[in-house]
A and B are shown apart, each in its own frame.
Chain A
Amino acid sequence: MNRKRSLLQNILLGLAILIVLFFCLFPFIQILSTSLKHQFDWGNPSLIPVKFNLDAYRELLGFGESTEEQIPETIKKLLDNPRITKAQREKILARYTATGDIFPFPRFFLNTFLLSSSAAGISLALAVFGAYAFSRLRFGGRTTIQRSILFVYMVGGVLLMVPLFQMSMKVGLAKTVWGSLFSLLLIYIMQTLPVSLYMLGNYFRTIPYSIEEAATTDGCSRIQSLFMIIIPLSVPMLVTVFVYCFIIAWNEFLFASVFLKQYRTFHTLPLALQSLFVSKNAIWDRIMAASILTLVPIVICFLFAMRNLSGGLAEGGVKE
């Protein structure tokens, strides 16, 4: 359809595109704008702050505002005393800084990052073998297994929340911090594994079998050909699957709240942000700044993996 559009049609088209863009992007602009505003400016509908305010970011990232302000004079004098050891000094300082007031964003960021990247890494490693078997090897029960994976991939976390918590309780994991973290790691692997299997399986099928056949006639075993041919050929897709799993784990809230609620220092970002919001209602700038900082790594991942990701998703490798 190469017909030229009339001027009116062009205007209507432009208008429609602007409406769609506005609908999609307005909440992000609003978040960014509020994160940069002073309190007096919050109710002002203009998106451009009257006066830029970077305090929220400074506070979250842990520089700028010194924590010493909250320490009473007498304690300060005590700290200046050369006779107390460094360990003692830190202990006293910790007592005055570890009030609920401080939101240790870098700490939460690190928690989430470590948990998400380990889950994505393990899930990917397991899925490489599984997906290879599904796409390349013939064995009895293969179709049944593939169907079942499709099935479990649609069972949501909500249905598993009570039994998984009870199982974790029964074996004693949910009773300790590290046990809870371990349970959470296993759950994130479980939540990302079906989608990794699905996306990788589809991808491996697109690699011509003849390349592998040439290697096996040269004496390579199947495992060798997996490592020397299939994996090197799939690097972009492996990265994409890793990023996708990482995003799923990064965003997860339900199980984090079930297992980690009582261990504040181990909160992941979704959980930490939610508690921040519930505990103090009127600190919009900090909440919005934290939202932006949670969003940024995902946007980077997204831009990075965009090409393969939208292709893979369009082929049906979607998980929610």
Chain B
Amino acid sequence: MGAIGLIMELTPEQRESRLGWRLTAPCLGVIGLLIIYPIIYNIYLSFFDVKLTGDKIFIGLANYEKLLKDTAFYGSVLTTFIYLVGTVFGTTLVALLVALLMNLEFPFRSLVRTLILLPYFAPVISVVFGWQFIFDPVNGIYNHVVVDVLGIATERHNLIGEPKTALFVVIVFDIWKHFPISYLLIVSKLQSINKDQYEAAAIDGYGPFGRFIHVTLPELYFVLGTLIILRLIWNLNKFEDVFLLAPNVQTLPVFTYYKAFTGIIDQGFAATVSVVQFLVLSFLIYFYVKKVLRW
């Protein structure tokens, strides 16, 4: 009878486990079907010549050979590298400076703190054209200030029209767009630093700068590390910000998009670029999960 009872009735632990799986099943279904499976399917597609209509022919490693010989690909890797270094460094630095500033007391502080979050929450699409207008060669304020007011340049430039200068504008735009979230994380850490530590450091004879180096920075070490690695991961994936502001700046995601959906469509080749990007990304994520989450 005991044996039958074991088969018929589940222990509370087993019931809990079953319920756990049942409740997570829909989420796992969506994630499995729409994220995990596509990642694997993407690797599979990279060995095919894929048409937009879905027809495909197996071509082995030909896509990879083509990729290694493609100078445009190397150009894109370089652009991505400059973009990542500029945005990650810039975003973190601006966020740190603003966080230190906002940690001081001044009138209307909470209003100011709310207002500076606006760039982060504004839809990319609603701000890119404003930025386009600022740098517009005919009407834009940038050319007005640089040429007419300050006289730094003698003629008006179309900064976004030229890929080289456009990359610079995209970097500034991305710093503007994303520093608020980093700032938010830094400032919440700053507020949790024990005030006694500053007083102790002051007694030890450290000035404001010394206190920053010896008290603030060590406390921020973890949050800054997290922000840098997360920003690298996010910006490696970033498409909209770059494509909508300056379609001529070909970071890897933009390069992939052009190959997959415009001009001479080559979806298999696009899948191959994605595989390479995925490998770099996995390395970064692995690093994040292993090192940062363990800290």
Contacts and interface: CB of A to CB of B under 8 A. Distances in A.
Interface in A126-171: 126-127, 129-130, 132-134, 137-140, 142, 145, 147-152, 154-167, 169-170
Of the candidates A34, A138, A320, the one having the most CB atoms from chain B within 10 angstroms of its own CB is: A320
Interface in A169-213: 169-170, 186-187, 189-190, 193-194, 197
A294 B117 CA distance: 17
Interface of A is mostly: helix
Contacts of A197: 27
Nearest to B101: A16
Given A21-B116, A291-B125, A134 B257 contact: no
Contacts of B19: 133, 137, 139, 222-223
A197 B234 CA distance: 19
Nearest to B198: A1
Interface of B is mostly: helix
B239 A158 contact: yes
Interface in B100-116: 101, 104, 106, 112, 114-116
Given A130-B26, A189-B30, A273-B129, A294 B106 contact: no
Interface stretch (A56-64, A80-88, A93-101, A306-314): A306-314
Given A158-B253, A159-B277, A287 B129 contact: yes
Given A160-B42, A163-B42, A292 B126 contact: yes
A86 to B, nearest CB: 38
B13 interface: yes
Contacts of B184: 310, 313-314
Interface in A223-277: 223, 247, 250-251, 253-254, 257-258, 269-270, 273-274, 277
B236 interface: yes
B109 to A, nearest CB: 9
A129 B257 contact: no
A127 B52 CA distance: 34
Interface residues of A, number: 91
Interface of B: 13, 16-21, 23-24, 26-28, 30-31, 34-39, 41-42, 45, 50, 52-54, 98, 101, 104, 106, 112, 114-119, 121-127, 129-134, 138-139, 141, 144-145, 176, 178, 180-181, 184-185, 188, 195, 198, 230, 233-234, 236-240, 243-244, 252-253, 256-257, 260-261, 267, 270-271, 274, 277-278, 281, 285, 288-289, 293
Interface of A: 1, 13-14, 16-17, 20-21, 23-25, 27-28, 30-31, 34, 42-43, 45, 126-127, 129-130, 132-134, 137-140, 142, 145, 147-152, 154-167, 169-170, 186-187, 189-190, 193-194, 197, 222-223, 247, 250-251, 253-254, 257-258, 269-270, 273-274, 277, 284, 287-288, 291-292, 294-295, 298-299, 302, 306, 310, 313-314, 316, 318, 320
